[in-house]
Structure 1
Amino acid sequence: MIKDRILGALYGQAIGDAMGMPSELWPVQKIRACFAGRMTTFQDGPKSNPVARNYTKGQYTDDTNQAFAILDALIENHWIPDRQIIVKHLMKWAYAADAFNRNILGPSSKAALLAIQDGRDPKSVTDQALTNGSGMRIAPIGTLFDPGHTDELIAMVDSVTRVTHSSDVAISGAALIAGAVCAALAFEHWDDVIDYAIDVQNRAFKLGSPTWAASVRERLFIGLDLAHKYVDDQSAFEKAIYETVGTGTLASESIPAAVAIAYYARDVRRCALLAANLGGDTDTIGAMATAICGAKAGFGSIDPDWTGLIDSENRQHCIPNYAEAIMKFREGNNES
């Protein structure tokens, strides 16, 4: 049961990322024009999209590649977060993907990694990092713990996140996503998932450097209200999230939007397609939201054609192997 949900979270992350890739950073009007109204399945990155044109149908982007790079770093060091090892794996991916030249890396991660590589203290960058790089790659961390290990979950999120993002909004936003995934593995009711995620977010917020960013928690409340208001009108819900909560690259927009979308969609297929058609940072919102839905619904609920496409188009990773490693960690951690 737990392994099925872990696989669901990992594949959900990858599916949401790959589905949202073609429309990444486009306004909703451009998505409608390019895809004859709506995207209905995976697509190649359009040549007119300066970021997505680097990818083909079913390939995931920096979100999931970084998520798995972080898992590789943790596995290498026996699940103890180490900044230099995390940076090593992130840079290995970045150079392999030519991420610096192809405009694939987000601004905060790019600045922090370059500073570390040059031997400079990245704190001036990371303390003011307001972007969603912290949340886009954190979902697999949520699979490592059950809700009885909340302190350990928060400590892991904090250690992994502050390598590139150490602001209050970045750490709390990452904690919201990881908390939602953690709870989705364990709880049957969606309201319990949300309550736990908010509690984790509240506690993690205190660990970050203060910023003037809007509250992730308060924007999530707006998104949840919209989910209830438009429960029978998805088009109205999408429009309201896009215009009110926001779908841009700021953590205070895309992270609460993603959790509200997961709460609304409650299904991997619906969630991935909703996020891809939303406008804004579609791949990142899709990765975060669909990971939560995958954790809740499990691998068995996902179309095998979709998971097969993810496997065939992203051969640099073996997702079932990550699930096995996570299961071994959980078994050892729960015994301690």
Structure 2
Amino acid sequence: MGYRIAVAGATGNVGREMLNILAEREFPADEVIALASRRSLGSEVSYGDRTLKTRDIDDFDFTGCDIALFAIGSGPTKTYAPKAAAAGCVVIDNSSLYRMDPDVPLIVPEVNPDAVMGYAKKNIIANPNCSTAQMVVALKPLHDRATIRRVVVSTYQSTSGAGKEGMDELWLQTKGLFVPGQEMAPKKFTKQIAFNVIPHIDVFMEDGSTKEEWKMAAETKKILDPRVKITATCVRVPVFVGHSEALNIEFEQPLDADEAREILREAPGVLVVDKREDGGYTTPVECVGDYATFVSRIRDDSTCDNTINLWCVSDNLRKGAALNAVQIAELLGRRVLKKG
């Protein structure tokens, strides 16, 4: 007997990836239900070699569903997640709504799988921010070995992190620069994204940081260790899919680049591509469609003791969102629901 799974937001970028990954990983589902808003009612989405017609989330009764994967944003989630949870369905939510709720576990399965047992307080589990998820996968094995004191991270985040509208804006602006009369002013982003970088993701906070930068610090503390100090600069770049990060990591105990490289080679969810030669590293284009968090450019920081630098790349629609949600569902199945 398998699971009855609902995917809310099935017509969006992340929802479609959730369906793809459920099929790819052969998740033991007897039934998969595609849910969307009323304006998308009847739209067709792919699930493996099957085509599903979307159903209206407004009218859907979650009773009898085991797990619901949510990719609908914080506003709709606030309405529908409590209904699903009250009906006995465990919600795995990709929005930011519940991430810092002390009664909702925030989970990256390679990092804090034991936290899944906290789901029962609200029947809800939170999926972290895309940039946080890939970072903590790389940090966890190093933290276990030498205890991380401080992380300085600069992100290079793709337009898909802002949804379909972000990707469309990059495409249309790029085309408009070469086709007279098709120029496009910024709408989704605050400035031109084509052939540009924008050091601004989410809203500004009182201290001058953006909410995206705050999320990376706050979520990492909740997932990995509240004692770790983190400072972030988050930048949007003209890439369609794939987030990149440059990390400077300071440890409490001695750890050099060579040992860090060997630790990461054995770490779950990590793929090390680190040759000190032209092209001996991974870029966003190469990580698209892959499950792994790729780590390259591992090297000692000569300016600070017990400190290394590394480059981290991942498909943000997969590990940063859809894949992590499905991995949480798999973890929940193994440890709690035990069907299939």
Q: Structure with the greater relative contact order (CA < 8 A, sep ≥ 6): 1 or 2? A: 1
Q: Mark yes or no: TM-score above 0.5.
A: no
TM-score by length of structure 2 reads: 0.30
